[in-house]
Amino acid sequence: MKNPSAPRLPSRLDPAELWRDALEDDAIVKRVAYVGTSFAGVHAEAFETEGCRFEGVRFSGAMIRQSQFSHSVLDTCDFAELKASDVSLVRCAVSGSRVTGSSWKSSTFRGALTRPHPG
């Protein structure tokens, strides 16, 4: 079995501007860095991210459907009580993130690298 490959991130990421880079229905977001952003309680469907970094981002209590994260890094994020349905993580690295009580119904992790939360 082949080991997953690390995501390919662009050398430069634009800082997130929520008026432009919100994770909302049908959004397509590329080459953006989210640092300390809160998507807690968000309800979103059919969005895509590619080549993004999520650092210290809160997804707690969010409901996400039919969406995809690709070639992205999700570091020290809070996914507690997240309800994800038909969500794909394709060639992503997830590390140090909290997943307590989260649900990933019919979701796909393809080529995803994971490391546990230290605490």
Question: Tens digits of per-residue pLDDT, 34-49?
Answer: 999 999 999 999 999 9
pLDDT at 30 over 80: yes
Q: What residues contact residue 34 under an 8 Å CB cut-off, 6+ apart?
A: 16, 21, 52, 53, 54, 55, 57
Rounded to two decimals, what is the model's pTM?
A: 0.92
Tell me the H-state helices in the chain. 18-21
How far, in Å, CA of 35 to CA of 5, rounded?
A: 24
